Amino acid sequence: MVGRLREMRCEVSFLKNADGSASFSQGATCVWASCSGPGDVHASKANEEAMTLDVSYRTNCGDNKFHELNNIIQSTLSKAINLELFPHTSAAVTIHGIQDDGSIGAVALNGACFALLDNGMPFETVFCGVLVVRLKDELIVDPTAKQEAASTGRVLFSICRGSDGGPEVCSMDAIGPWDFEQLEAAWCYAQPSARAIFDFYRNVMQRKHSVDEQ
């Protein structure tokens, strides 16, 4: 098994117009994410009980109206943020996949979380994404594009931080045949990675809010 994350890099608040922005990369995979809101919403989309979330993952090429990642990101976001705090408003979350070198789903989730953190959204719990693939009966965490293409099964965990500070599965997207033991093993490998990502969130946000470093 290869239970390692590639090197993570992040830069926050670099876009002029968006309220919160982040450029996040894991190895050579890189996304730019932005979050604007809560702001006013068009009457047709307004929800009097909760904030309207407008999430879109944009690829480099082609039409972006529907993308398979939108679902998992949207459901994770609505769990991680207490939407009922802001009725009659909307927030737009955009994630541009700038460069894809594997595990783009996980990177997009992490980038989205950074953008929301940078915007100062009130979180119920922070979240992150970890992709685990099975390659010849071997589990690989955070695969490169080559490993991902050769894999026989993929599972994308969207992970929340539980009340005890440990990682908890928020949602999951599995492709390919998986039996229960394999999934459990994949989850075991994903946990330390999730902890590492949560620590990274803390580091970056501490850096951002510290006065003396700038």
Binding to other proteins by residue 208, rule CB under 8 A?
A: yes
Min dist. Cβ of residue 124 to other proteins (A): 23
Binding to other proteins by residue 188, rule CB under 8 A?
A: no
Six-digit token pair at 119? Answer: 């915007």
- Exactly one of 46, 203, 211, 212 binds other proteins (CB under 8 A); that residue is 203
- Exactly one of 15, 172, 174, 185 binds other proteins (CB under 8 A); that residue is 15
Query: Cβ distance 129 to 107 under 8 Å?
Result: yes
Binding to other proteins by residue 19, rule CB under 8 A?
A: yes
Binding to other proteins by residue 148, rule CB under 8 A?
A: no
- Exactly one of 68, 84, 124, 199 binds other proteins (CB under 8 A); that residue is 199
- Exactly one of 77, 98, 117, 131 binds other proteins (CB under 8 A); that residue is 98
Query: Which CB, 119 or 158, lies closer to other proteins?
Result: 119
Maximum distance among all alpha carbons in the chain? Answer: 52
Q: What are phi and psi of 6, to 5 degrees?
A: -75, 170
d(CA 2, CA 139): 7
Query: Which CB, 174 or 205, lies closer to other proteins?
Result: 205
Per-residue buried b or exposed e for 162-190, using 16+ beta carbons within 10 Å of the residue's own CB:
eeeeebeebbebeeeebeeebbeebbebb
